[in-house]
């Protein structure tokens, strides 16, 4: 009887699952969309039960038609980070899950800091509270303004604070458990001390006993419950293992296993994550956390919503509200060569306004289309420059995410970064990483089992190096 490892990626807009066999070969995939609930003032939420049903559906989708003898023995989770779930004494959700994309706390302005400065929060967590979206900020907002669906936050009527990963783990095993990379992005966890931080918990009105246990990635959490096994359609003897934040699992899935290995994740946000040998706190905008690969740390920087902003642009320029297809945008951009005097676009992300610099009467839609694609790549170069200040100098970028399907966009990224770009040879790197992590931790998959070969390696073109150096300086000036 051949054993299987299951990876579940609890994403922001979909839950994805990957099944691996004992040779780390992909046996099947599963997918179920997740609805985002948006509203005024920056509200972005999930229906909590819908998250669980999407998890159930994605797993069943992957296992549909599998022979009964092929059983799932190990389960690992990858998760969106920074989404807050509050439960009552009975374990039922109080209101919706508050997404990491929800920016309502930012409306509090300086009051959000509660008399502390930014350094207080960054030195503990590696994150800026002024982002106004992560769980600590949401708890502070709820204490300050209340909410009909979330009464008495911080009081006895709200005994449990959960996040997407720990909520699903609790549904699977009966115990709420998270991992260091997911805990770090809550801003309730002291990354240096590797524990929930009492000062931060006090600001949010929470306590240790109301939070999930933190277990190292790859640690066995417990066996799946009979009810959960029946709901998901997996073996009742399956063991659940602590996973990681989706970007950390994606890095592991892409084969990042030593210091200096780096991914660029090209999705709704573009994220750079490089592995280091120790925690580093170089500057705001770069966040450290323990990596899922044992003994290593990560340094993560995000270009917030640049992928989403590209989609916005396709809608913005469309006549009568019709969305311009990405293929149309890319085709137009491909007809223009990189130029040091080309228009430079700074896309409107993270609540900030966008800018267009250097657009003249001789420029056309083709130039503007290329400027939009270059904007994401130049944003990624900003993160690379920050990482170099921290002593991280990647020699290669491993690219994952939806945008890797565009070779033009990836060539622009390689040219702008001045680094070769290795394109992942499979989809759903985060779910793959979670499955591989669980498979290795269980002993089912050997640590030296082969990794999927990259689909391609794109080299930066030396002829455009000076051009992109010039564009980069213009981009930074425009973004200030």
Reported confidence tier of residue 323, pLDDT bands at 50, 70, 90: confident
207 and 283 share a domain?
Answer: no
Q: Is residue 429 part of a domain?
A: no
Q: Is residue 432 part of a domain?
A: no
| The length of the chain, given as a count of residues | 480
Phi, psi for residue 399 in degrees, rounded to 5: -100, 130
Q: Is residue 387 part of a domain?
A: yes
Q: Is residue 81 part of a domain?
A: yes
Q: What is the pLDDT of residue 192?
A: 96
**pLDDT at residue 20 greater than cutoff 90:** yes
Percentage of the chain modeled with pLDDT above 90: 75
Whether 83 and 164 have beta carbons less than 8 Å apart is answered as yes
349 and 464 share a domain?
Answer: yes
**Number of domains into which the chain is organized:** 2
Average pLDDT over residues 439-448: 94
Q: What is the pLDDT of residue 132?
A: 87
- Of 234, 254, 274, the residue at which a domain comes to its end is 254
Q: What is the pLDDT of residue 158?
A: 55
Q: Is residue 436 part of a domain?
A: no
Average pLDDT over residues 204-219: 95
Average pLDDT of the chain to the nearest whole number? 91
205 and 328 share a domain?
Answer: no
Burial of 324 (0-12, 13-18, 19+ CB in 10 A): middle
Q: Is residue 439 part of a domain?
A: no
- Residue with the larger pLDDT of the pair 291 and 322: 291
- Of 231, 254, 277, the residue at which a domain comes to its end is 254
- Of 237, 254, 271, the residue at which a domain comes to its end is 254
78 and 43 share a domain?
Answer: yes
Average pLDDT over residues 159-181: 96
Give residue-wise pLDDT tens across range 188-200: 999 999 999 999 9
Q: What is the pLDDT of residue 406?
A: 94
148 and 260 share a domain?
Answer: no
Domain CATH number, residue 179: 3.30.420.40
Q: Is residue 399 part of a domain?
A: yes
**pLDDT at residue 69 greater than cutoff 50:** no
Q: Where in the sequence is the domain holding 34, given as residue range(s)? A: 3-254
193 and 214 share a domain?
Answer: yes
Reported confidence tier of residue 154, pLDDT bands at 50, 70, 90: very low
262 and 244 share a domain?
Answer: no
Average pLDDT over residues 346-353: 71
241 and 280 share a domain?
Answer: no
Reported confidence tier of residue 351, pLDDT bands at 50, 70, 90: low
280 and 177 share a domain?
Answer: no
Q: What is the pLDDT of residue 151?
A: 46
Average pLDDT over residues 354-368: 90
Average pLDDT over residues 102-118: 92
For 2, the 3-state DSSP assignment is coil
157 and 267 share a domain?
Answer: no
**pLDDT at residue 165 greater than cutoff 90:** yes
C-alpha–C-alpha distance, residues 264 and 168, integer Å: 27
359 and 394 share a domain?
Answer: yes
| Residue-wise DSSP of 294-313 | TT-EEEEEEETTHHHHHHHH
Q: Is residue 445 part of a domain?
A: no
C-alpha–C-alpha distance, residues 27 and 25, integer Å: 6
- Residue with the larger pLDDT of the pair 391 and 126: 126
228 and 260 share a domain?
Answer: no
Computed over its alpha carbons, how large is the radius of gyration of the chain? 22
């Amino acid at each position: 009887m051949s054993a299987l490892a299951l990876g579940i990626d609890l994403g922001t807009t979909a839950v994805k699952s990957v099944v691996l066999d004992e040779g780390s070969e992909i046996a099947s995939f599963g997918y179920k969309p997740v609805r985002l609930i948006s509203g005024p003032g920056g509200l972005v939420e999930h229906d909590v039960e819908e998250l669980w049903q999407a998890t159930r559906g994605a797993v069943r989708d992957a296992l549909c038609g599998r022979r009964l003898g092929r059983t799932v023995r190990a389960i690992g989770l990858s998760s969106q980070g920074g989404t807050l779930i509050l439960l009552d004494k009975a374990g039922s959700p109080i209101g919706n899950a508050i997404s990491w994309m929800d920016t309502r706390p930012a409306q509090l302005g300086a009051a959000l800091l509660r008399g502390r400065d930014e350094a207080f929060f960054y030195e503990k967590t590696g994150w800026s509270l002024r982002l106004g979206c992560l769980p600590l900020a949401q708890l502070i907002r709820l204490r300050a303004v209340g909410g009909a669906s979330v009464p008495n936050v911080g009081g006895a009527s709200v005994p449990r604070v959960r996040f997407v990963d720990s909520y699903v783990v609790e549904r699977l095993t009966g115990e709420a458990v998270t991992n260091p990379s997911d805990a770090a992005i809550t801003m309730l966890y002291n990354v240096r001390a590797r524990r929930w931080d009492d000062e931060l918990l006090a600001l949010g009105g929470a306590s240790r006993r109301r939070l999930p246990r933190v277990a190292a990635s790859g640690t066995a959490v417990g066996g799946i419950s009979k009810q959960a096994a029946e709901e998901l359609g997996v073996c009742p003897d399956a063991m659940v293992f602590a996973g990681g934040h989706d970007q950390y699992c994606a890095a592991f899935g892409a084969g990042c296993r030593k210091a200096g290995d780096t991914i660029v994740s090209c999705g709704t946000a573009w994220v750079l994550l490089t592995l280091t040998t120790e925690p580093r706190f170089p500057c705001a905008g770069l966040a450290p956390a323990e990596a899922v690969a044992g003994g290593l740390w990560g340094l993560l920087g995000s270009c917030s919503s640049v992928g989403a902003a590209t989609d916005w642009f396709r809608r913005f320029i469309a006549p009568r509200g019709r969305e311009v297809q990405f293929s149309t945008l890319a085709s137009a951009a491909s007809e223009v060569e990189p130029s040091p005097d080309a228009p430079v676009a700074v896309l409107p992300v993270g609540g900030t306004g966008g800018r267009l610099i250097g657009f003249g009467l001789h420029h056309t839609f083709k130039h503007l289309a290329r400027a939009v694609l270059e904007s994401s790549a130049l944003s990624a170069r900003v993160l690379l420059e920050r990482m170099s200040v921290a002593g991280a100098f990647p020699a290669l970028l491993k690219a994952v995410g939806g945008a890797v399907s565009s070779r033009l966009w990836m060539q622009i990224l390689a040219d702008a970064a001045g680094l070769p770009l290795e394109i992942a040879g499979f989809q759903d790197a985060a779910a793959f990483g979670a499955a591989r992590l669980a498979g290795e931790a269980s002993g089912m998959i050997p640590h030296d089992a082969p990794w999927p070969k990259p689909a391609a390696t794109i080299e930066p073109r030396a002829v455009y190096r000076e051009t992109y150096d010039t564009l980069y300086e213009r981009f930074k000036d425009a973004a200030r």
